[in-house]
Structure 1
Amino acid sequence: MTWSEMEPLLSQALGETLRMVAWSTVIAVAAGLPVGVLLVLTDRGGLLRNLPVNRALGVVVNVGRSLPFVILMIALLSFTRGIVGTTIGWQAAVVPLSVGAVPFFARLVETAVREVDDGLVEAVRAMGGSTWTVVRKVLLPESLASLLAGATTTVIALIGYSAMAGVVGGGGLGDLALRYGYQRFETGFMWVIVALLVVLVTLVQLAGDLAARSADRRRRGPAPRLRLLRPRTP
């Protein structure tokens, strides 16, 4: 297969991969961030200590993380059809990708938030800060570098999952590798797809590392890490 024949196929497949990864990342961050924070807040010693809720969230997250992605895609076929009206194409692949990524990112958020210095939390609480204030002023800003690193790891995992989505007609580079590299024995074409995925992962990792280092430098800079709140008046 010549480059002129490969180029339009690669362009379309790359666009599908980027769209499904982008949408899945947005959903994973939007849903996984509050779940991860709640896992910390509702645990023993948390500001919203509630062990039944914590255990229930933990079970849901663990179940979601334990399922292999290919099995998860097959198990969610009916659910996917009900959400997007089809089980093939990149739009359909977004559903299992998001379901698989939310618990994955939630655990990374939990780990990042637990690393925040308890002294900062106590300082805000002593000055009358509410739980929401602690989350907004301390937990999220102080863990931003780790959260960005976790988001980078999630995106890279989603790129790998998106390639597996091609097994069930999810579109993207994985579907192209399956149809041409495996079924039509176009080995050279398959290696081009592999190289493209490697480049994509490398670029994401470099961008994520840069963002995380930048956030960490700002946090550790000479400026105060926490803007003091007005003490509560008696």
Structure 2
Amino acid sequence: MKELANLTYKEEVELLKDEENFEELGDKRYLHHEDVEARLYWAFCRPSGSSREQIMDPEPIVSIMAFNHSRLGALERFKLLHPDLLKSANLRKKISNRSRMLFRDLTDNDFRELNLVLDIAPEFLNMAVDQLINGRKWNDTPADLIEATKFIQRSHEYWSTDYWSALFAKLEQIEDYEADEIKKFLVTVKDKKQFIDRKILHYFQEETKKWLDECELHTLQKKSIERVARELG
């Protein structure tokens, strides 16, 4: 390997790229470098994304760079993030674009990790609500009802027509269920209804009414399903 002395960090890294163990060499040279600029540049260009150690860097600017360039999941990143970042509105702005992408994914899943991240970083609640309402949805994973309830309770100041429409759209969609499926689902909801927000319970009562109005079941079967739905209230 060529001598790296008297080169800029960018020039050094360019030379290291020719080595088979490029990332390993870079980690040894820059992860704990005394110069913040060296650690900052390595957080930017580390081939497999910034590491846990880089997100935990004692210098906030390095932590910011590493957070933005890491491939770790949202929860892991926020756990490792420099604590000063969450306290400062100006510093939070520097991770806002990446955070928006992370919250888009969190609100597109079952809300378990979403709530864990918000436990760590409640300052991003408004972003979570925005992504619930406006973020593009890529998968059909429904929100866990208890986790959705936790989210509802913590975000009450953001309740609106758009909020509830987006929230209900994240719940289990029962319109295509068969009779045995919908009854089984309603029984499951009933068994844990004390942990579920009343608006969610009412939503499923209304969705069940729509389902019953459109189905051609025998009257006794309908009444059996209606009875379970009433017990959600």
TM-score by length of 2: 0.22
Which structure has more helix as a fraction of its residues?
1
Structure number with greater Rg is: 2
TM-score of the two chains, using structure 1 as the length reference: 0.22
